[in-house]
Structure 1
Amino acid sequence: MGNELSNSSEVLRKAASLDLYHNLVDQLVKDFALANISFQPRKEVSPAELTALLREKVYVLLLERFPDYLNLLYIIDVPENSLSSGETRDAADMAEEAAYLILKREWQKVWLKHSYRGGGV
């Protein structure tokens, strides 16, 4: 379902191939709103643009609104142990990893909803 997807591009490609890309974007917008964080990509955002927007948003949250970043990860249900730790890392690298984990978890939600509503993947 999602464990074999190793980066953001693969997650978005998989969602698009199953015609669930817009569901994934909607799920992102919904969960950001639940975290009280504005994230409103335009309706026809491309996968590359979505990745860049998400990475930029996470980067700003990491640097300027860390409690909101943690709340977002909690609401989306990104497991804490999935985030790399230990070595000192650049904020941009951390934002890229977090954006991938966010997309991966949101994809799992979308895939499960689709599968159990009779969409059959």
Structure 2
Amino acid sequence: MIPVFKESEELIKFANTHHLYKDLILQLKKDFGLANLTLDLPEDSNPNELKYLLQKNIQFLIEEKFSDFVNLLYIVDLPENTARQILETEKQNISDHYTFLILKRVWQKIWFRQKYQ
């Protein structure tokens, strides 16, 4: 059964302890690349850097390049109703919520790939 997480830090810590942290970074970079975006995130970055840089990029996309942000959500395969619900209900820390949802969805891809390899 796939682990369930309540926050980004918990997910990143779990990935790190299960030696899937590098895979998480690579998948994030791949998904950003498929959306024609660049995620400048070194593979040896620590978990705090990962969350900070990802959230910073997401905040920029929301504020400055919203259509690219929507495209990223499509590439990541975040359910549209979930994405729309956050836009309609959250007023503060919206980038934090999206960071967690993107990390969670990317984690699912990695987990399934690793489990059914």
TM-score, structure 2 normalization: 0.92
> Which residue of the partner structure matches residue 70 of structure 1?
70
Cα distance between partner residues in 1 of 2:88 and 2:77: 21
- Equivalent pairs counted in the alignment come to 114
Measure, in 1, the Cα distance between the counterparts of 2:28 and 2:42. Answer: 13
Aligned counterpart, 1:89: 91
Equivalent in the alignment of 2:11: 11
Deviations 1:44-68 (A, max 9, x none): 1001100000000000000000000
Deviation at 1:86, TM superposition (A): 3.3
The structural deviation recorded for 1:14 is 1.2
Q: Give secondary structure in 1 for the equivalent of 2:116.
A: helix
Superimposed CA distance per residue, residues 23-61 of structure 1 (whole angstroms, 9 cap, x where no aligned partner): 000000000000000102112100110000000000000
Query: Which whole-Å CA distance do the structure 2 matches of 1:68 and 1:108 have between them?
Result: 22
Which residue is equivalent to 1:57? Answer: 57
Structure 1 residue matching 2:88: 3-state secondary structure: coil
Q: Structure 2: 5+ residue runs without aligned partners?
A: none
Match of 1:110 in 2: 110
Q: What's the Cα RMSD here?
A: 1.2
- Unpaired runs of 5+ residues, structure 1, are none
Shift in alpha-carbon separation, 1:88–1:41, aligned structure 2, 3 A: closer
The 8 Å contact of residues 23 and 110 in structure 2, kept in 1 or not, is answered as yes
Identity, % of aligned positions: 37
Q: Distance in 1 between matches of 2:89 and 2:102?
A: 21
Q: Distance in 2 between matches of 1:51 and 1:45?
A: 10
